Amino acid sequence: MLDFIYYPVSGVLWLWHTAFAAVLGTSSGLAWVLAIVFLVLTLRALLIRPFLAQLRFQRTLAKIAPEMKEIQRKYKDDRQKQAEEVRKLQQEHRFNPLLGFLPMIGQILVFIGLFHVLNSFHAGTANYVFSTEQVQSFLQAKLFGAPLSLSLSHAGDALGSVTAVVIPLVVIAAIATHFTARFSAARQREVAPETDRTRVMNLLSMWVFPIGTLVTGVLWPVAILLYFVIQNAWTFAQQHLVYRRFDAEAAADAVTPVS
C-alpha cells in the first residue's frame, strides 16, 4: 500500500550502500552506517526549499508584527475572533503556517519507509531493490559490536552490546527531538501569536514525541535509531545555522538606508 514510499527509500539507501560498499567492501558495517547517514543528507537536501520558504514567510510575518499585536489587544477577550483575524492577516500576506510542517511530514514518511524496508530484511530473500547478498550483508553489519538489524527487545545473545548502543542513542534522540521542537516553537512565537493549532502541534513536538521515543526506542532496530539520531542532529544544527543567516539578512535590511 505504501510502495510509493518504500521503493524510493529503498532505492536511495541501495544507491549509497552500493557506492560505499564498492570502497569498503560488501561485508562492511561502516558501509551501511554511511548509507544511512547519506540517506538523511539526501532527504534534507530535498526538504531544504520548503524549510527556507517557511523562514521567508516568517520573516515577512515579522514585518507585520504590529498589526498582529493590535489584533491581540483588540480581541484579547475573544480567542475565536482573534484567531480569525490572525488567519485573515496571514492570508493577505500569503503566509501559510502549515508549510512549516512539510519538512516534518517528509521526515515521518521516510522514517516509516526505512523502518519497513529494514524490518523486511530476512536471510535468504531479496527485498525491494536489494539483492539476497545485500540483505545478508545488512543482517551481519554491526555498530560498535551491536548488529544494526537488532532491537533491544529482540537482542537475544547480543543483549549486552545492543544495550550499550541503544540506550545512548534513545536518550540522545529524545533530547534532540525536544530541543529542536523547543527552538522551533520559540521562533514561531517571535513572529506570530500561537493559535490553537500551532499550540497543539508544539506540545506534541516538544513533549509527546520525545517521550514516545523513550518508550518505543527499545522496539527500534539499531539502524533506525541511528537514522533518527542523525536526522535530529542535522535538524538542530540546520535550524541554528539557517536562522542565524536569516537574522543577519534581516538586520542588514533594517540598517540599509532607503534611496
The rounded distance, in Å, linking the Cα atoms of 255 and 182 is 30
**Is 257 among the domain residues?**
no
- What is the pLDDT averaged over residues 125-134? 92
pLDDT value for 233? 86
More confident residue, 165 or 79: 165
* pLDDT above 70 coverage of the chain, percent: 88
Mean pLDDT over the full length of the chain: 84
Q: Does residue 103 lie in a domain region?
A: yes
* Higher local confidence (pLDDT), 130 or 46: 130
The model's confidence at residue 61, banded by pLDDT at 50, 70 and 90, is: low
DSSP assigned state of 130 = B
Q: Indicate the SS3 state at residue 213.
A: helix
Q: Domains in the chain: how many in total?
A: 1
Residue 256 covered by a domain: no
User: Domain range spanning residue 219?
Assistant: 3-251
Q: Is residue 99 very low, low, confident or very high in pLDDT (cuts 50, 70, 90)?
A: low
Question: Is the pTM above the cut of 0.85?
Answer: no
Q: Any idea which residue has 509527546 for its cell?
A: 208
User: What's the pLDDT score for residue 191?
Assistant: 62
Q: Tell me: the pLDDT tens digits for 199-236? A: 888 888 899 989 998 988 888 999 999 998 998 888 88
**Is residue 140 in a domain?**
yes
The dihedrals phi and psi of 130, each to the nearest 5 degrees, come to -90, 135
Report residue 72 as a C-alpha cell.
Answer: 491581540
Q: How far apart are CA 193 and CA 204, in angstroms?
A: 18
Q: Is position 214 within any domain?
A: yes
Residue 199 grid coordinates = 499550540
Average pLDDT of the segment spanning 39-57: 81
C-alpha cell at 83: 484567531
Q: Which of 28-37, 60-69, 174-183 has the lowest mean pLDDT?
A: 60-69
In a domain, 111, yes or no: yes
Average pLDDT over residues 38-66: 78
Domain assignment present for residue 258? The answer is no
Q: Is residue 200 part of a domain?
A: yes
Under 8 Å between Cβ of 247 and 59:
no
Phi-psi region of 191 (alpha: psi -120 to 50; beta: other; left: phi over 0): alpha
> Cα separation of 87 and 116, whole Å?
38
